[in-house]
Amino acid sequence: MSTKSELLKLLESHRGEYLSGEELASRLGYSRTAVWKAMKNLRQEGYRILAVNNRGYALETDNDILSVEAVKMHLEHRNVFMQVEKEISSTNQYLKKKGIEENLPHGSFVAAEAQTEGKGRRGRTFYSPAGSGLYLSVLMRPKRTAQESLTLTAAAAVAVCRAVEEVCGVSLGIKWVNDLYLGERKVCGILTEAVTDFETGDIELVVVGIGLNLRMPAGGFPGELSEVAGAILGDDVYVDRNLLTAGIINYLLEEAEKEGIPEAYISRNIVPGRRVRVAYGTRVRSVEAEKILPDGRLLVKNEQGEEEILPCGDVSLNLH
């Protein structure tokens, strides 16, 4: 670990507390000159570090920069691959490739401040600008078949809801299959990608991608997104994104250990009782959503008034 990383870890663990240059050097086992250089580098990266004569240095309590050092402090499983980037093409794409090539362990993750090629479902992109969201992918090695992958998407949805409620104080609803809503606005998308064994059909690894809109981006959402996308926080509300990231990972690994679809996925779902447009296969239809079944499938009443069960699909709440 570099001097800068060790210094950041120490400052994060004492966020808001002043530590003298002498104390920092003593704890880290480096010269004061080396500590000062590392401090300068952190400031250049955007960390707000206070310096007061006769008191020392302190990391401001409302720093909003993602880092491995800060996320790791709150993780329950730490012997995994961890990476945080200012910008990346796609956290899912990067982690899936690295997971295969390096056989990364269960619970490994990549988080980013921004994505240039964020991935959504059905080949769509996920708008991922800097300064407004949290973009996270977690690698998992579940003992499940590809047909059971829906349970991981459900686990991820519940995990995000739990972490957001705990850290941000905001309660979200789940839209079958994989989106989270605040009111009538989409604030989070989840993309689950599996790599399977061709012969057995068993999952070798799964990458769960989570894109969470924390604040409105500068200038608002572009194009059609302006009609459906939203954010969970006001511009002046601070949350610790490192704590939120760790919370999502912790809850995801916990929920994924449970059998079947989480009850919270069913109880939080906003689709049942509404008329929705469903794209399933090559067909797009308007149906009455009745309920989420215990296995995660959606029971609907189709155009002929007959009950039908959909195993997956792309649901639109807006029929106009």
Residue ranges for the binding site for biotin?
Answer: 90-92, 115, 186
Annotated binding-site residue numbers: 90-92, 115, 186
Given the structure tokens 């977690």, which residue do they identify? 138
Angstrom distance (rounded) from CA 203 to CA 100: 12
Angle at 241 between CA 177 and CA 39, to 5 degrees: 150
The label of the residue with tokens 């919370």 reads 247
Give CA separation, 306 vs 197, 289, 290, 293, in Å. 37, 12, 11, 16
- What are 226's two structure tokens? 């302006």
> Could you please report the per-residue DSSP string of 83-99?
EEES-BS-HHHHHHHHH
Give the tokens for residue 193.
């990608």
Residue 229 sits at φ, ψ, to 5 deg, of: -85, 150
DSSP one-letter code for 317:
S
Q: How far apart are CA 18 and CA 244, in angstroms?
A: 25
Q: Give dist(CA 120, CA 209) in Å, integer.
A: 9
